[in-house]
Every structure is written in structure tokens, then in C-alpha cells.
Amino acid sequence: MIAHARLGQPVGFNYRCDTPILRRTYAMTISRIPGDEVEFSSVLVRQESRPAVAILQTDHARHEEKFIRVCSWCQSVALPSGDWVPVEDAVNKLDLMGDEKLPRLTHGICEACALSMNQKLAALL
């Protein structure tokens, strides 16, 4: 994507960047700027309120070695079964609030978002 932007072909995609009380969708554009550099620009596209999701709050105590994987694009959470579910469902299915310490969050990409991004990349080639 960066290589295409450097060639003067801007690239764009949507991603989620949620807070504990908001679901937020942003549109990112990667564009060439003078000096053979690229600029990453994000614009808020949509925002909606939701009940607070404690796993996304930064002030909770966290396990040192217990992690859950969150998709960096859609904010779904990977279950041990391999399924990806919305974070609110994962809290219940994994009983994440049943312990005084929450797992740490690590980020990756779910299969659906990987397929979508690969299709975007293929369209650039």
C-alpha cells in the first residue's frame, strides 16, 4: 500500500478504533507527499455509543501472561475455537470479568478482514 501511495496512487481503507463506550469507524488514506514520503490520514466516519466494555478500559489490572487477540481492523476477538466475535460477546463467552485481572490485549487480523485487505492489495497490482 505504501509503495502504491509513493507512486502517486492514494490507497484507502476503513478500520475500527473503539473506546470502552464508543464504536468508532475511521477511513484511512495513505498518500504521497513531497519528498517521496507518505502521509497517513484518518477521518472519523461513524461513531455510536454502547454500554461500557471493561476489557477495553486501560485502568484495569492485567495478567502478565494471559492475552486475548483483537482484530486491528474490526475489533472482533478471537475465541479458542478459532471463531471471531464482537468484543461484547467475547467478554461473556470467555467470562473475562470473572477474574480480578483482565487479560492483556494483543492485536492481529481476523480472516474476514485479512481477505478484504488482500482483495484491496490485489486490486492495486
pLDDT tens for each residue of 17-70: 999 999 999 999 999 999 889 999 999 999 999 999 888 888 888 888 889 999
Q: What is the mean pLDDT of residues 89-94?
A: 89
* Grid cell at residue 55: 476489557
Q: CA triplet 69, 64, 98: central angle to 5 degrees?
A: 70
Domain segments of the chain as ranges: 2-124
Where helices occur in 1-125 by DSSP H, the ranges are: 2-6, 87-93, 111-124
Rounded alpha-carbon distances, angstroms, from residue 87 to 21, 23, 77, 102, 121: 12, 11, 6, 13, 27
**Average pLDDT of every residue of the chain:** 91
Q: Is the pTM above the cut of 0.85?
A: no
pLDDT at 9 over 80: yes
Nearest to 56 by CA among 8, 110, 107: 107
